[in-house]
């Protein structure tokens, strides 16, 4: 019986593991070709000043539109790009494109761009980013890079070199997904960030959870104390927006304020209307 059971337990995993591997190999090959054909492009989600209700910039979010018209989200292909050693090429391509797009916006608008944790252990990253900004002609003060705490913990020495190169050149750094890592507070005292982005999970639950409300309040107070701008991610409802405004949160982002959209469509939604008006 044991033998039979054992076999039954093991058996279902074999084909699925094989499927997983086959899938991975295929995704990797497709990804390589997508980068070559520049099929992965940045979409842009507005960052809104919660006091003035004006757009202050856009966060670039990578979108892979396959030949069959299917969209693959970044959480699926960024890890593959990292493991396959494709993240440098992909980032260079996306950043170059995003900087070029940003040149067509009103020139006070900021471009916010995400970096993968793994990239911050590449000590040449800062210089490569600055080279791209220089090539495109986008001033460094219009660029903000979003990093997570885990990025800094992985290789603190190199991360500092990279961030210093960028900060010294005038690029701003935002701490993304704040509150989800395990050492947020130590990172805050170790490095001078310009912005903290409160993770969506806090914003989505804070009306139903009184403690979350207090946490958000405390993060905003922390930001005030440190002189750091606070952004709230994932605002989907009017009531959330209202509460964050009451609490004095500086910047907001979320489907309510504008969904990620391709450059061509920035004029079609709420965000784009504002951008084109101000152009």
What is the rounded CA–CA span in Å between residue 94 and residue 62? Answer: 8
Residue 97 CB neighbour total at 10 angstroms: 18
- In order of 99, 128, 129, 130, 259, the CA distances from 135 in angstroms are 10, 11, 10, 9, 29
Nearest distance in Å: CB 16, Mg ion = 28
- Four-residue CA torsion sign, 48, 229, 142, 111: negative
Give which of ligand C2E, Mg ion, none residue 78 binds (C-beta under 5 to 8 Å, depending on kind).
Answer: ligand C2E
Site for ligand C2E in 242-261 (CB under 6 A): 253-255, 260
Q: Which of 62, 138, 216, 266 binds ligand C2E (CB under 6 A)?
A: 62
- 144 part of the interface to Mg ion, by CB under 5 A: no
Q: Residue 159 touches which of ligand C2E, Mg ion, none (CB < 5 to 8 A by kind)?
A: none
Question: Using CA atoms, how far apart are residues 144 and 170, in angstroms rounded to an integer?
Answer: 9
Contact 45, 259 (CB under 8 A): yes
| Residue with smallest beta-carbon separation from ligand C2E | 254
Told to check if 71 binds ligand C2E by CB under 6 A, we report no
How are beta strands 55-65 and 71-72 bridged, if at all? Answer: antiparallel
75 binds ligand C2E (CB under 6 A): yes
Q: Which two tokens stand for residue 31?
A: 């990804």
By CB under 6 A, name the one of 47, 55, 94, 188 that touches ligand C2E. 94
61 near ligand C2E, judged by CB under 6 A: yes
Interface region with ligand C2E, contact rule CB under 6 A, candidates 46-54, 74-82, 129-137, 219-227: 74-82
262 binds ligand C2E (CB under 6 A): no
Q: Which stretch binds Mg ion (CB under 5 A): 15-23, 72-80, 216-224, 229-237?
A: 229-237
Nearest to 43 by CA among 71, 17, 69: 71
**Interface residue with ligand C2E, options 50, 177, 181, 188 (CB under 6 A):** 177
- Least separation in angstroms between residue 197's CB and ligand C2E is 7
Taking CB under 5 A as the rule, does residue 176 contact Mg ion? Answer: yes
**Nearest one of 75, 90, 72, 93 to 26, comparing CA atoms:** 72
CA separation for the pair 111, 144 (Å, rounded) = 6
Region near ligand C2E per CB under 6 A, out of 27-35, 70-78, 164-172, 213-221: 70-78
Cα-based angle 187, 60, 227 (whole degrees, multiple of 5): 35
Which residues here bind Mg ion, judged by CB under 5 A?
114, 146, 176-177, 233
């Amino acid at each position: 019986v044991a033998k039979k059971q054992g076999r039954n337990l093991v058996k279902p995993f074999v084909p699925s593991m094989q499927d997983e591997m086959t899938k991975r190999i295929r995704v990797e090959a497709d990804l390589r070709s997508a980068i070559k054909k520049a099929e992965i492009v940045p979409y842009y989600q507005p960052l809104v000043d919660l006091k003035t209700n004006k757009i202050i910039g856009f966060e670039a979010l990578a979108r892979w539109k396959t030949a069959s018209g299917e969209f693959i989200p970044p959480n699926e292909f960024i890890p593959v790009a990292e493991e396959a050693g494709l993240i440098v090429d992909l980032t260079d391509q996306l950043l170059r494109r995003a900087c070029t797009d940003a040149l067509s916006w009103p020139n006070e608008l900021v471009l916010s761009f995400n970096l993968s944790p793994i990239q911050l252990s590449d000590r040449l990253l800062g210089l490569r980013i600055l080279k791209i900004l220089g090539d495109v002609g986008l001033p460094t003060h219009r660029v903000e890079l979003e990093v997570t705490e885990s990025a800094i913990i992985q290789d603190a020495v190199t991360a500092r070199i990279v961030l210093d190169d960028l900060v010294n050149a005038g690029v701003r750094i935002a701490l993304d997904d704040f509150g989800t890592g395990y050492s947020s507070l130590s990172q805050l005292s170790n490095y001078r960030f310009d912005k903290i982005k409160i993770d969506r999970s806090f914003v989505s639950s804070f009306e139903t959870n009184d403690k979350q409300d207090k946490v958000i309040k405390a993060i905003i107070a922390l930001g005030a104390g440190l002189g750091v701008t606070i952004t709230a991610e994932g605002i989907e409802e009017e009531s959330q927006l209202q509460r964050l405004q009451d609490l004095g949160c500086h910047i907001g982002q979320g489907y309510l304020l504008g969904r990620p959209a391709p450059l061509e469509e920035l004029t079609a939604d709420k965000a784009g209307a504002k951008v084109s008006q101000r152009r």
